[in-house]
Structures are given as C-alpha cells and as structure tokens.
Amino acid sequence: MMNFETILIYVTALLFSFMLHEIGHAQMAYIRGDDTAKNMGRITLNPIPHIDIFGSLIFPAILLLTKAPILFAWAKPVIINYSKLKNPKFDIPLVSFAGPFVHVILIALSLIIMKGALSFPQLTFGLNMSILEFFTVMIQVNVILMVFNLMPIPPLDGSKIIACLLPDEMARKYMELNPNIGFILIILFAMSGFFGSILNYVFTFINRIAFVFLYR
C-alpha cells in the first residue's frame, strides 16, 4: 500500500503531466491555425482550466480507495476546431500526436535531471533520494500516459492518428464509434494482459536507456 508521501508524488506527477499533455494539443493547434483552445485559456500552467471533475479527481480517488495497483487520471480534453487548421489532413494527426509527444519530452527531461542529481554527490542524501524518487515516478507516469493515449480507440489520440491514414468513409465510421463503446473498449484494453505486455516492453526499453544514460 502506498504511503501518503508516495501518493502525493504520484498525484503531483499526474497533474503536471496530463496538464502539459493538453497544453501540447492546444499549442500545436494554435501553431497550425486554430486558436479555439487558446481563446478558452487552455495554453496555461494554471491547472484549474485543465481539471476534469471525474477524470482528474473522482476516478483517481476511487483507485486510491480501492487500493488499485496503478494510479491513473486524465485532464479535460481541449476543443479543436478542425476547420480552422491550415491543412486538416496533415494537421489533425500532428495535433493529436503533440499530446503523447509531451510525455516523451518529460521522460527525457526527467532523465536529464536525475543525471544532474547523480553528478552532484555533495547534495544531501535525503535531497538526492527525493529528486531521484520524484523523477522516477515522473518517468513511470509519463510512460503509462503515453502508451494509453496512443491506443487506437476513439476518442484517444491514437485513434485520430490512425483515422487520418484510412480512406475517408472508413475513417468517418471509425471516428463515429459510440463513445460508450469506446469507453468500454478502453477499460477492457487497459485491464487486459495485452496492455500490460505493451507497458512492460516500453518500460524495459526505457529502463535500458536510463541505465546507460545515468550510470555509464
């Protein structure tokens, strides 16, 4: 069972990570011509506009109360007006991929900060351990968020990327999948051994990179 300090670390990492995920979508949409999310105040480090009552508060609270083996949450999705984009066929997957790519950046930054902490042994042991613990959690959280959001199930980011590779009629039917069916598929996929296998593969890959980067 996680203690209060560990829970606080995970909650902080989740809030920060999914907030930047949505900022990534909003910023890329703005760069490609759509100012909808910007005008709604979604390109901001203030967490309040990004908080989804169920996904950011209630759902993670349920996971904590039920002692689930994983802590997960999500932010309020940004609204994208695809008709404002300069080249929708090209820009939709670009905007969609911007969110998951934020997690790649956060994983890389976490490794750099951990490398810095290990390079200064004069830091107190407690401070050094706290830095390493927090950014280890940051890496774990961002790997999970990245893999989860790239699942090709509407309305996740992966579905929008895949849809732009399909013929128009097939893509339309794919994206019109009933949201309730999509949500059920997401839950089933997230709880399946297949999802866990993908996570284990990605974690193994990241751990190898981290070991080489941090200790060699």
CA dist 36 and 56 (Å) reads 22
Maximum mean pLDDT: which of 35-49, 69-83, 126-140: 35-49
CA dist 184 and 204 (Å) reads 28
Residue-wise pLDDT tens digits, 161-174: 998 888 888 888 88
- AA identity, residue 157: D
Between residues 54 and 61, which one has the greater pLDDT? Answer: 54
Among residues of the chain, what percentage have pLDDT more than 90?
51
Query: Could you tell me if 39 and 109 are in contact, meaning their C-beta atoms sit under 8 angstroms apart?
Result: no
Which residue has 């939709």 as its token pair? 92
Catalytic hit among 22, 133, 169, 176: 22
For the whole model, what pTM was predicted? 0.90
User: What is the reported pLDDT for 106?
Assistant: 98
Mean pLDDT value across residues 29-43:
96
Concerning whether 22 is annotated as a catalytic residue, the answer is yes
- How many Å from the N-terminal Cα to the C-terminal Cα in the chain? 33
CA dist 91 and 68 (Å) reads 37
Axis crossing angle, helix 88-118 with helix 4-31, rounded to the nearest 10:
140
Query: Could you tell me if 172 and 129 are in contact, meaning their C-beta atoms sit under 8 angstroms apart?
Result: no
